[in-house]
Structure 1
Amino acid sequence: MEQHALRQANMAIAERYLQAINDWDFDVKRELLAPDVIFEMRWAPPGFPRRIDGVEAVMEFLAPLPEAIVTEGLHDIRLETLHSDAGQVVAFYKSDMKMVRPVEYKNDYITCFTIRDGRIVRFCEYFDPIPLVVAFGGSVVPPSP
């Protein structure tokens, strides 16, 4: 496949995955993830895994999220690929989530997708963990002087 077409196809896969998050479409998520996918949350707060290996483990992690989150609200999505590798898609986006607890969760994300042969083999989310902790009822208290 020509590089421009491959870039477009891979960006469409990443965009479809992000839309599946908004739609709570777990079937599409499963379809787009490679069996040996690696999901990383490098800056995850305590209590959240930083790495999950395999599609079944990822789906198991994602399954209970609808119990805590009413709507995902991912928006302002911008996708790019690396010049050196059309399979490396970087997504920049924001979230305006509504939680089951009556709070809103807003954050900015950068997600790096690695896509090979039409499937996501790795994705790594980068986000500020503090708003997530607060949305789930926790707090972050600075140390006393």
Structure 2
Amino acid sequence: MSPRTEPADLYRHGLRLLLDKDIPAWVDLWDENGIFEFPFAPEGWPTRLEGKAAVADYMRGYPDHIDLHAFPEVAVHQTTEPETIVVEMRGTGRLVATDAPFDMRYIAVVTVRNGLISHYRDYWNPLALPQDAAADFTGSSR
């Protein structure tokens, strides 16, 4: 992506990469010093990742846990800061370990600088994840 990439375009490209299970390419959308925060993370899960390497480590096993099929709802909202967007979305798929359906709503606040993600706050709902799936995640690289 070029340094002139609009935040909304970069974000939508990232969703496509997640659906393609191309985690390394998704991580490449991050600034070396990017911050990934999870304000609602349950106990035992990280609340803040600092740097691209930490993001890569966190996301490495994602497709082993969640098989994403679609983002049927994505609404990108511009803010008064041109580099920052707020995204409301829904991701669907299946939990790999149990083959149970996965259906999660998210709100993300994302800042893009120089064509790369520099700050991402992920307001996902840990209560919407089945308890057995949460146990699987906490035993993983998360």
TM more than 0.5: yes
- Specify the alignment match of 2:113 in structure 1: 116
- Note if contact 2:31-2:52 (Cα within 8 Å) is conserved in structure 1: yes
Q: Which runs of 4+ in 1 moved over 4 A?
A: none
Cα distance in 1 for partners of 2:134, 2:112 equals: 35
**Shift in Å, 1:128:** 1.6
- Specify the alignment match of 1:105 in structure 2: 102
Cα distance in 2 for partners of 1:21, 1:108 equals: 15
Cα distance in 1 for partners of 2:69, 2:32 equals: 25
TM-score, normalised relative to structure 1: 0.81
Cα distance in 2 for partners of 1:42, 1:134 equals: 19
For 1:67-108, what per-residue CA distance to the aligned partner results, in whole angstroms no more than 9, with x for missing partners? 2122353221111210x2110011110011201112112121
Instruction: Name structure 1 gaps, 5 residues minimum.
Output: 1-5, 139-145
Give the letter for the 1:99 counterpart: L
Correspondence 1:1-145 to 2 at 5 A: 9-82=6-79, 84-100=80-96, 101-134=98-131, 136=133
Q: How many residues align?
A: 132
Cα distance in 1 for partners of 2:88, 2:132 equals: 21
TM-score, normalised relative to structure 2: 0.83
Between 45-54 and 129-138, report the one with greater CA deviation.
Answer: 129-138
Give the letter for the 1:130 counterpart: L
**Shift in Å, 1:120:** 0.5
Considering only CA atoms, is the larger Rg found in Structure 1 or Structure 2?
1
Identity of aligned residues (%): 22
Larger relative contact order (CA 8 Å, sep ≥ 6): 2
Q: Does the C-alpha gap of structure 1 residues 87 and 98 become closer, same or farther in structure 2, counting only changes over 3 Å?
A: same
For 1:25-72, what per-residue CA distance to the aligned partner results, in whole angstroms no more than 9, with x for missing partners? 123212210000100111012222111111011111100122212235
